[in-house]
A = this chain, B = another copy of it.
Amino acid sequence: MATIRDVAKLADVSVSTVSLALSNPARVSQKTLEKIRQAIAAVGFVADPLAQSLARGRSRMIGFVVGNVGNPFFGDIRRELENYALDHQHFVVVTDSSGKTDRERAMVEHLIGLKTAGLALAPSGYDQDYLDFIAGLNVPIVCFDQKVAGIERDFVGSDNYLAGAMLTEHLLQLGHRRIAFITGPSHMHTATERYRGFAETMANAGVEVNPNFVVDGQFTRTAGYEAAMRLLIQPERPTAILGANNTVALSTLQAMQELGFRCPEDISLAMIDNVQWSSVITPRITMVVQDTLALGGIIARRLMHRISNPQGAVEPPQDFVLTPKFVPGNSCRRL
């Protein structure tokens, strides 16, 4: 609990000199520096980060805000960010909004109150009020995953249109025509883009989409399960189901197993996004995955760049869009 004043007293210099020695040693004489060093060691001084943040108006913390830290997608990104941040003397504070917009906002506000140096944010909010709030923040922010129209910030994510299109094309090539799509929330960019990839690819192939084959899975387990059941009980069943994310696809697989459908013999299944332990899920689901490590690396570098470089703060926002990767499984059969 030694303070900077204890150090100053022991080293017989002023408090400001100690502070200067710590933040900019080059401007303090060798002799004094040495005295201060010894005094610091003698009293066991460690600067109080709270006091530093208050005085500086900035802390060395980076806020990481997502809807579900348990999701391995976010987990990988968090790890990359953290490793990079630690290398640059910054500390990552993780918060989880559980997908609730109001909670997300409260958490961002709290992080701002903590005077975080920057924010990595996967936004779930979208109303004007929220956008204005984000726009008004005077802190480096890198958004990722969800591209929200109206947020003028750096964005890092994947080409979701392509992801949807790739899987659709694959199913078409296998001879499927009655392809169903389980969507995500319509206010989410990833959801609409993935659906657009599906719809346009179908249209380009001249295949009409049965309106009953597009059901809303909300990216959640319960809604996904419900959506799958709704598809499976139809008299003219789809031959393939495309899940807009991992959660709805796995819910679909569960629903299929429960009703006694075999995959891929009876119905084929494909999904966007990876899932933990996908290798032990039977069948191995054909999927398109995002390069989470690359995404995390870009987020980390971009954010630290803005934080560390004086001119980095004023650079215009930039989009980084990565190409997702097709990973074949054995959940899609040729018709």
- Show the binding face of A for B, using Cβ within 8 Å: 46, 48-51, 53-54, 59, 69-72, 75, 78-79, 82, 86, 91-96, 98, 103, 107, 110, 113-115, 250, 253-254, 257, 275-277, 279-282
Contact residues in B for A253 (Cβ distance below 8 Å): 280
**10 A-B contacts (beta carbon < 8 Å):** A48-B54, A50-B114, A69-B94, A70-B75, A86-B103, A91-B110, A93-B93, A254-B279, A276-B277, A277-B277
Q: Which residue of B lies closest to A79 (CB)?
A: B98
Contact assessment for B48 and A50 in the assembled complex, using a CB-CB cutoff below 8 Å: no
Complex Cα distance, B46 from A94, in Å, reads 23
In angstroms, Cα B113 to Cα A323, docked, is: 41
Tell me how far the C-beta of A71 lies from the nearest C-beta in chain B, rounded to whole angstroms.
Answer: 8
Q: Closest chain B residue to A50 by CB distance?
A: B54
Query: Are the CB atoms of B91 and A94 closer together than 8 Å?
Result: no
When the two chains form their complex, are residues B96 and A82 in contact, meaning their CB atoms are under 8 A apart?
yes
Contact across chains for B82 and A50 when beta carbons are under 8 A apart: no
Chain B residues contacting A280 (CB-CB under 8 Å) are 250, 253-254, 257, 281
Contact B110 A49 (CB under 8 A): yes
Bound: A72/B75 CA distance, A: 11
Q: Which of A54, A82, A98, A277 has the most CB of B within 10 A?
A: A277
When C-beta atoms are compared, the residue in chain B nearest to A98 turns out to be B79
Residues of B within 8 A of A98 (CB): 79, 82
Asked whether, in the complex, the Cβ of A78 is within 8 Å of the Cβ of B96, the reply is yes
A272 CB, nearest partner CB in chain B, Å: 16
